[in-house]
A and B are shown apart, each in its own frame.
Chain A
Amino acid sequence: MGKKKFNVDADFDEALNLTPFLDVMITLIPFLMLTASFFTVVVLEAKLPTPIPPYKMVDVKIPPPFDLVVMVPKDSIKIYVNNKDPLGPPQFSVDCKDRVDSSNYSEEQIGKFHNILVDIKKKFPTEERMALDPIPSLPLEKLVQIIDQSKSFIATDPAVTENPQFQNLRLFPGLAMKGVYVP
C-alpha cells in the first residue's frame, strides 16, 4: 500500500482573482475623490442684537461702561473705544486702500487689526463685548476675516506668551452685528 503523496504546490496553485476587487476600488476611488472635501468646515458665531424690553430699560447704562465698536467702511477698519462723539475720528484705524483684490484683506492688514484688539484687551481684560458695523457693500469674506480675528487670541500673540492670565481668556467673543435690528 503506497503512501499518497500530497503535492502542496498544486493545492495552492490557483491564483487569487483580484479583478472584482480592483473593479470595486477603481469605482470607489473616483467617487470618494469627487465627493471628498479637503478642507475643514468651521463656524463663526455672529449674534444678532436683542431688543431690551421696556421694563429693563431702567437698568441700562447710557453711555455703557465699555463700548467697543468696529466700523467697516470701504477702505479701512475703524475702531472706536468708549467714544463720546460717534461722528468723531476713531481711536484706531487700519488703512486698507492699497489692495488689488478687494474681496479680502491682506494678512498684514488683518494682522494689524488683530494687534489693535489685543492692545485694547490688555487695557480691558474683563470686557468681551464688541459691536460690528459693516457697510452694505462689504463682501462676506472681509466680514468673516474680521469676526475670525476678533474672537480669539493667536498662540503667538505677545500678550499670551508674556502674560499667563491671557491664556485662558478670549479676545472679544461677545460680538454682535450692528444694523441687523430684529423687532
Chain B
Amino acid sequence: MSAGGGGQQVKASKFGRGGGGTQKEVHLNLTPMIDLMTILVVYLVMSFSADPATLANSADIELSRVLITSEKPQEVSVISLSKNELLLDGKVICPVIINPKDGYPDFPDSVWSGFFIEPLKTALDKVKENGEAIARINPSRPFRGEILLHADRRLPFATLKPVMRSAGNAGFRQIKIAAKGMN
C-alpha cells in the first residue's frame, strides 16, 4: 500500500530546539512503515485461528510435538487437563491435586465414583444428550462419540487414564489427543 499523501510534514528547526533560525520542512516518509504494518496485520489475521483447541489454550498447558500426523481438529467438545485443573469446554470440572502416595497429579477423593470422575462423567452425559438430540434433528451431523483431549505434555498416563475412562463410559470412545504439528 502506498499512502497518497506520501508522508507527514514535520517542521524542524535547522538549529535545534527553539533556535529561532530558518525552519526547514522535513518529510517523514511513513509509507514503508504502513506497508509493513498492513502486511503484518493481514498475515496475523489470516493465521488467527478459532479452532476449539486453540481457544481452550492456556498458559499452563504445553502441547506435545508430533512429526508425522497432520489431521486437523474437528468441532468437538474439549477436555483440558493441566497440572492445576480439569475443564470441559472451558468450564472447571474439578481441581487437580498431587497424590501423596505416588506423587502423580490426581483428582480429589470427593470427585471419584468407582473408576470414574463423577462430575466429568455427568457433564459428558449432558454433552452426549445434546449431541444425540442434534443428530435426531439433523441426520447429517451424527453423534460420533469424539472428544478432544487437550492435556499438558508432562502429565503421566496415570492422570490421563481416569479421564479417558470417564469419557469412554459416557460414550466418547474416540479420544483425540491435541498436539503441535511440526510439518
Contact = CB atoms under 8 A, between A and B. Distances in A.
* Interface SS, A side: mixed
Contact of B177 (A21, A25, A46, A104): A46
How many chain A residues sit at the interface, stated as a range, is 35 or more
A148 B5 contact: no
A44 B8 CA distance: 53
Interface stretch (A56-64, A89-97, A175-183): A175-183
Given A42-B70, A141-B65, A152-B69, A48 B175 contact: yes
Given A141-B153, A144-B177, A43 B73 contact: yes
B66 A42 contact: yes
A154 interface: yes
B180 interface: yes
A1 to B, nearest CB: 35
Interface string B151-164: 11111111011001
A87 interface: no
A183 B173 CA distance: 12
Given A29-B37, A46-B175, 5 more contacts: A16-B5, A18-B8, A136-B161, A139-B155, A148-B66
12 contacts: A18-B8, A25-B41, A32-B45, A37-B49, A41-B49, A41-B53, A45-B175, A48-B175, A137-B104, A140-B177, A148-B68, A151-B69
Interface of B: 3-5, 8-9, 30, 34, 37-38, 40-41, 44-45, 47-49, 51, 53-54, 57, 63-74, 102, 104, 148, 151-158, 160-161, 164-165, 167-169, 173-182
